[in-house]
């Protein structure tokens, strides 16, 4: 395994590999640090560029954007109290109070350091856990894949927020839009209304760009009334020696880091949850188990450590089900799944035998991307904070232009452009009605997997659904699905 991992790093140490690694991390940090942008938008925008790249190099670029985008959110969270990404929400709780106490450099140093360590922690878990899961998953057939898809769809409950019905509506709409086009089994057109362009269905890229990037642009245009935002950009940071904290303070966070990173990795492995939930949950656990919970929220490093270690650990965790089972752990890995599929690479158990070079390219990109992220954030703090001062009337049109170009580049037709706009409007409607978008993406990607394998399974069993329960792995996932639904119902009844 280590020989293959060593060989995979050769892709990194080429001119194109280094450009993609360095550029991807840098751009990802910018997208993460600017409120309204995100790692999801960064990957959605740059996904078309990967068409012209070697699959190994394309993976390096996407992973670099992912790492930079998640970690970059800590910059604005600490300096302005506004999370650059949902994964940095809890970083604001103690990071910004530290800035108010003139400890911005210390807070940034702690955040950058434990973001780096959290990424390394999950990378190690990813390297050793993915092959183990793959050996189990290689036994999967139609019954098992349907059960896994159903289990993943049950995560809609967790993504629905306070209103489970809105989450279910979003998820079902995603499944419905995924059925548009030619049926892959019976080769029958569905909901095409006689249009040849619609017969090809909606590509995942326009859906992702529209639902997240275009929606975000429309939302920002709707909320930004003028250039003057209610945001204080800190241009001058008091520079201290080292990383701003002592060795004693570093080792005092060992338990906090291990618990938070483990929690982040575990949550990341569960499909459909991601770092947005991981950082808040880790912060809550850290506070509840602390000897001084009353100090949380007043500006202590414990809160920053818990949030940043967990949200970055969720990166590697989210890649585990993607590589081993072909199921995205969050919306960012959903885009990564689309990127791999565009190159003819199907994530899943066979990936560890048919595309082992891609697997180890991901491992290498995770490891070296974390190192590059650490160096860039530490030495480039002043540069990144300058991005916050770009007027929105310059930034939003530029992003919109990139979105349209990216959508057109998928299949070189205007149908995908109009599809991008359509899903942007749908996303904006979701925003206005407080309907979560994440369940839509989950339904759009996992829905076809569930449908196809259900139909294949019924064909194998000659219409006898009871055969599904005779497969031990499938039965296990059916039970887990039922437990998740029952737990969700019980929680709603208590509320």
The closest alpha carbon to 115, from 272, 262, 281, 310, belongs to 310
d(CA 101, CA 370): 29
Average pLDDT score over the chain: 78
Comparison of pLDDT for 152 and 287, the residue scoring more: 287
The arithmetic mean of pLDDT across residues 283-291, rounded, is 81
Whole-number Cα distances in Å, 461 to 143, 329, 494? 10, 30, 41
Phi, psi (5° rounding) for residue 483?
-65, -40
Q: Is the pLDDT of residue 234 over 50?
A: no
Residue with tokens 């910004």: 96
Q: How many CB atoms lie within 10 A of CB 95?
A: 31
Comparison of pLDDT for 270 and 169, the residue scoring more: 169
Phi, psi (5° rounding) for residue 43?
-65, -40
Instruction: Kindly indicate the confidence band of residue 226, based on its pLDDT and cuts at 50, 70 and 90.
Output: very low
Which structure tokens are listed for 128? 């050793």
The arithmetic mean of pLDDT across residues 243-261, rounded, is 87
- Note the pLDDT of residue 120: 92
Share of the chain above pLDDT 70, in %: 79
Instruction: Kindly indicate the confidence band of residue 329, based on its pLDDT and cuts at 50, 70 and 90.
Output: low
Which structure tokens are listed for 370? 């974390």
The CA angle 485-487-488, to the nearest 5 degrees, is 65
Which structure tokens are listed for 372? 């590059």
d(CA 241, CA 311): 27
Which residues lie closer than 8 Å to 222 by C-beta, 6 or more apart? 428
pTM, full prediction = 0.64
Instruction: Kindly indicate the confidence band of residue 316, based on its pLDDT and cuts at 50, 70 and 90.
Output: confident
Percentage helix, strand, coil for the chain under 3-state DSSP, each rounded to 5: 75, 0, 25
Instruction: Kindly indicate the confidence band of residue 157, based on its pLDDT and cuts at 50, 70 and 90.
Output: low
Greatest Cα pair distance in the chain = 71
The arithmetic mean of pLDDT across residues 251-256, rounded, is 90
- CB-based contact 219:431 (threshold 8 Å): yes
Whole-number Cα distances in Å, 465 to 147, 185, 242, 485? 12, 19, 63, 20
Which residues lie closer than 8 Å to 309 by C-beta, 6 or more apart? 114, 115, 117, 118, 121, 256, 257, 260, 261, 264, 282
pLDDT digits (tens, 9 = 90+) for 374-409: 998 888 765 654 544 566 677 677 767 767 776 776
- CB-based contact 396:221 (threshold 8 Å): yes
The arithmetic mean of pLDDT across residues 84-95, rounded, is 78
Q: Is the pLDDT of residue 274 over 70?
A: no
Instruction: Kindly indicate the confidence band of residue 229, based on its pLDDT and cuts at 50, 70 and 90.
Output: very low
The arithmetic mean of pLDDT across residues 161-167, rounded, is 72
The closest alpha carbon to 422, from 403, 435, 436, belongs to 403
Which helix H or strand E contains 182, and what residues bound it?
Answer: strand 181-182
């Amino acid at each position: 395994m280590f020989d293959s991992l060593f060989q995979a790093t050769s892709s990194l140490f080429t001119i194109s590999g280094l450009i993609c690694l360095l550029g991807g991390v840098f751009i990802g940090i910018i997208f993460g640090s600017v409120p309204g942008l995100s790692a999801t938008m960064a990957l959605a925008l740059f996904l078309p560029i990967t068409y012209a790249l070697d699959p190994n190099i394309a993976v390096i670029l996407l992973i670099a954007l992912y790492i930079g985008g998640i970690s970059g959110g800590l910059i604005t969270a600490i300096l302005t109290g506004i999370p650059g990404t949902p994964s940095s929400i809890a970083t604001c709780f103690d990071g910004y109070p530290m800035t108010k106490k003139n400890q911005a450099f210390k807070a940034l140093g702690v955040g950058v350091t434990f973001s780096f360590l959290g990424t390394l922690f999950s990378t190690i878990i990813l390297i050793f856990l993915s092959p183990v899961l793959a050996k189990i998953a290689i036994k999967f057939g139609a019954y098992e894949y349907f059960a896994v898809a159903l289990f993943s769809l049950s995560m809609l409950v967790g993504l629905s927020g306070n209103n489970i019905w809105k989450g279910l509506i979003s998820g079902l709409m995603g499944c419905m839009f995924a059925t548009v086009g030619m049926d892959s089994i019976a080769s029958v057109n569905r909901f095409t209304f006689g249009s040849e362009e619609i017969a090809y269905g909606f590509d995942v890229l326009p859906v992702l760009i529209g639902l997240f990037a275009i929606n975000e642009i429309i939302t920002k245009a709707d909320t930004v009334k003028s250039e003057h935002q209610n945001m204080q950009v800190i241009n001058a940071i008091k520079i201290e020696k080292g990383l701003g904290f002592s060795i004693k303070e570093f080792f005092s966070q060992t338990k906090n880091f291990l618990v938070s990173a483990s929690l982040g990795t575990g949550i990341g492995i569960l499909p459909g949850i991601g770092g947005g939930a991981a950082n808040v949950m880790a912060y809550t656990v850290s506070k509840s188990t602390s000897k001084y919970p009353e100090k949380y929220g007043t500006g202590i490093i414990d809160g920053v450590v818990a949030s940043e270690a967990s949200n970055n650990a969720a990166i590697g965790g989210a890649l585990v089900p993607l590589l081993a089972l072909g199921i995205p752990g969050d919306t960012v890995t959903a885009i990564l799944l689309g990127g791999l599929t565009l190159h003819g690479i199907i994530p899943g158990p066979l990936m560890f035998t048919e595309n082992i070079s891609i697997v180890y390219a991901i491992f290498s990109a995770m490891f070296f991307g974390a190192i590059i992220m650490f160096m860039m954030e530490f030495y480039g703090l002043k540069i990144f904070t300058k991005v916050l001062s770009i007027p929105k009337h310059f930034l939003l049109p530029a992003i919109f232009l990139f979105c349209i170009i990216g959508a057109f580049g998928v299949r070189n037709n205007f149908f995908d452009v109009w599809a991008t706009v359509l899903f942007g409007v749908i996303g904006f409607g979701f925003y206005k009605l407080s309907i979560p978008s994440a369940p839509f993406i989950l339904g759009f990607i996992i829905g076809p997997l569930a449908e196809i394998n259900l139909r294949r399974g019924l064909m194998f069993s000659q219409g006898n659904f009871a055969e599904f329960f005779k497969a031990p792995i499938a039965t296990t996932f059916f039970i887990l699905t039922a437990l998740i639904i029952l737990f969700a119902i019980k929680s709603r009844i208590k509320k």
